[in-house]
Each structure stands twice: as structure tokens, then as C-alpha cells.
């Protein structure tokens, strides 16, 4: 079945000024998602907005993620309920609630945290919450979001946008209470949620290679 593929590749800073060079290509061809992929996304997209995700939405989603991590740290510092704040963050930003729940690792969120060895890849809300808020589910988790961080800046190096998803890759820098800054590499992939907002279905984060 023919489908329309909209592809946008962009390079530059997280603010993407109007002068940035971008390549846009739209074609109608029989190169859409195959049947298995369409089936995997059918449930998540059945009531979602059908508009193609824009680069501005991707930038805004990344900024909202950064702001959310900083907010959780502030809740922690004020002796607030940071676990509930982290759960709300995951509900809003990730697509855990849209997955099929079949238990066969099909159509699940793909989350590879920065600092995780015992459970380096996570697919469910509970293990992700453990990573961000140290709930005790995974022993190695120290609570990434309660480090805490005072500022997170980011730079997207490129995007790949299709009719159903948007993927970005780049770096973000985390500033801790002492003013120290840690550079981390990221990949995010988004789909639209039922209300039209972007939801993360893939998040890979790692420290730069140090030979």
C-alpha cells in the first residue's frame, strides 16, 4: 500500500535558527512502514493526531525533557515527593502507557540509560522510575534525576522525520550542584500520543567513548 514519506534531515544547534540548511524530501511510493511495523504502531496511533511531527516539536520535546529532569531535582532538594514527580515526568514524556503490554518485548519503549550495568536496557515504567528516582527496584540505581542537576543544555546534531516518527541525535550537558558539567550523547525517537503531544518510544543515552 502506497504511503507518503516525509523526510527531514537537519543539522545545527538546539535552537535551529531560520538560516539553518535543511534537506526536505517528500515522495509518494510503496516504501512506507511494512505490515509488521504498521501493526506494531496501530494501537498507539489509532487515536493520535495524524500531522507529521515538525523539527520545532522535536526541539521543544527535548527542552521539556531537560526541564523535567531539573524540576525533579528541585523537588528532591525541597524534600518533596520526587518519586511522584518522576512518575508524572515518565507519564508525560514516555509512551509506556501506549504500549501493548503483551510481555513479549514487542511494541515496547526502548530505554537505555546512561548509568546502568545490571539492567542496561529497560522496557517498563517501573524499571525506568527506579533509574530516575531510586525506588529500590534495581539495586544499582542511585536516582539519576535526584543527582540533582541545576541546568541541562543540549545540541541536536541531526534529525530523521517520517510520517509517523521523529528521531534526533546529539549531546546534552548536565550541570550539577558543584557547577561541574557532564557531556552525554543521546538518541530520542518520538511518536504522537492520543492528545497530539510527542511521546518517547526510544531513548539511548551514553557517555562519550574514552580510549
**DSSP per residue over 69-137, as a string?**
HHHHHHHHHTT--HHHHHHHHHHHHB-GGGS---SSSSS--EEE-SS-SSS--B-SHHHHHHHHH--SS
Report whether CATH 3.10.450.50 matches the domain 3-206.
Answer: yes
Are 15 and 170 within 8 A, CB to CB? no
Q: What is the pLDDT of residue 108?
A: 85
Report CA-CA distances (Å) from 95 to 109, 125, 138, 184, 207: 7, 9, 21, 23, 24
DSSP three-state, residue 170 = strand
pLDDT (tens digit, 0 to 9) for every residue of the chain, 211 residues total?
A: 434 334 433 444 444 333 333 333 333 333 333 333 344 444 444 344 568 999 999 999 999 999 999 999 999 999 999 999 999 999 999 999 887 666 666 778 999 999 999 999 999 999 999 999 999 999 999 999 999 999 999 999 999 999 899 999 999 999 999 999 999 999 999 999 989 999 999 999 999 999 9
Using the 8-state DSSP alphabet, how is residue 144 labeled? G
Of 6, 49, 46, which Cα lies nearest the Cα of 28? 6
The residues pairing with 203 across neighbouring beta strands, listed in sequence order, are 111, 188
Instruction: Please count the other Cβ atoms lying within 10 Å of the Cβ belonging to residue 134.
Output: 21
Question: What gap in Å lies between CA 75 and CA 95, rounded to an integer?
Answer: 23
Amino acid at each position: 500500500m502506497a504511503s507518503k514519506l516525509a523526510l527531514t534531515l537537519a543539522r545545527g544547534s538546539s535552537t535551529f535558527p531560520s538560516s539553518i540548511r535543511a534537506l526536505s524530501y517528500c515522495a509518494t511510493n510503496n516504501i512506507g512502514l511494512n505490515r509488521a511495523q504498521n501493526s506494531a504502531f496501530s494501537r498507539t496511533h489509532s487515536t493520535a493526531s495524524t500531522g507529521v511531527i515538525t523539527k520545532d516539536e522535536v526541539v521543544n520535546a527535548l527542552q521539556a525533557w531537560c526541564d523535567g529532569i531539573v524540576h525533579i531535582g528541585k523537588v528532591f532538594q525541597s524534600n518533596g515527593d520526587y518519586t511522584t514527580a518522576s512518575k508524572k515526568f515518565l507519564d508525560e514524556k514516555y509512551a509506556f502507557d501506549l504500549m501493548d503490554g503483551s510481555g513479549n518485548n514487542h511494541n515496547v519503549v526502548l530505554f537505555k540509560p546512561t548509568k546502568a550495568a545490571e539492567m542496561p536496557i529497560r522496557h517498563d515504567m517501573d524499571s525506568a522510575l527506579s533509574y530516575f528516582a531510586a525506588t529500590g527496584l534495581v539495586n544499582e540505581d542511585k536516582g539519576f534525576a535526584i543527582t540533582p542537576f541545576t541546568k541541562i543544555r543540549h545540541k541536536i546534531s541531526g534529525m530523521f522525520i517520517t510520517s509517523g516518527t521523529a528521531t534526533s541525535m546529539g549531546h546534552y550537558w548536565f550541570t550539577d550542584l558543584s557547577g561541574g558539567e557532564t557531556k552525554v550523547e543521546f538518541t530520542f525517537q518520538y511518536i504522537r500520543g492520543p492528545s497530539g503531544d510527542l511521546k518517547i518510544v526510544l531513548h539511548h543515552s551514553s557517555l562519550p567513548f574514552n580510549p
